[in-house]
Structure 1
Amino acid sequence: MSADIEATIFDLLTQAGPGKSVSPEQVARGVDPEGWRRLLGHVRATSVGLARQGRLVITRHGKPADPEDFKGVYRLKLPDAGASPEGADA
């Protein structure tokens, strides 16, 4: 399941283009258009894991969020070239 979510995250981000972000809902719908709501927790967990590895940035209000401590609405984007792996220094 997480491999499908991870692949979908990176596919959507590649399609979106540099500097653009995607929502967790877009990812979940990309994996399962009918049962996407039940995947939102899995998307969050996968996103946190990727952010810990420095492969993804979780944003809130357009700014990098701490993957260990964020709440509410968030978006996903690729790290900027030259940014810190955590993405929290921006």
Structure 2
Amino acid sequence: MKVSPNEIRKTLRTLSNSRAFPATFCPSEVARDLADDWRPLMPAIRREAAKLIAAGELECLQGGAPVEIEKAVGPIRLRAAKATSPSG
């Protein structure tokens, strides 16, 4: 199944908006919402998340601390940026 970048960004926004700041979500939650065969989507999800981070919509965390998504190795968590979160 081909998933468009727009679908990925929409799902990233939906998940981030469904969590009250500072709650986080795993990028794999986005992938699982989009496809049964979700693992191949992970690089595209990170790419689209990076765009939303650059736009100030999301934050990336690793071990509970903010990190640059491009430099993160291993599991990450995402959340709405404080200014865009429902309670922020």
Which sections of structure 1, spanning at least 5 residues, go unmatched? 82-90
Count of residue correspondences:
81
Give the alignment's TM-score, normalised by structure 1: 0.80
Q: Residue 59 of structure 1 aligns to a residue in which SS?
A: strand
Between the aligned residues of both structures, percent identity stands at 26
CA gap 1:25/1:68 in 2 versus in 1, 3 angstroms: closer
- The residue number in structure 2 matching 1:56 is 58
Q: Which has the higher contact order (CA 8 A, sep 6+)?
A: 2
Which residue identity is paired with 1:16? R
Which sections of structure 2, spanning at least 5 residues, go unmatched? 84-88
Q: Residue 66 of structure 1 aligns to a residue in which SS?
A: coil
Query: Displacement of 1:70 after TM fit?
Result: 1.7
> Is 1:9 matched up with 2:5?
no
Task: Give distance in 2, aligned partners of 1:9 and 1:59.
Answer: 15
| Aligned-CA RMSD value | 1.6
Give the alignment's TM-score, normalised by structure 2: 0.82
Q: What's the CA shift string for 1:55-86, capped at 9, x where partnerless?
A: 110110111102332211101101113xxxxx
> Is 1:70 matched up with 2:72?
yes
Which residue identity is paired with 2:12? I
Which residue identity is paired with 1:23? C
Task: Give distance in 2, aligned partners of 1:79 and 1:14.
Answer: 10
- The residue number in structure 1 matching 2:23 is 20
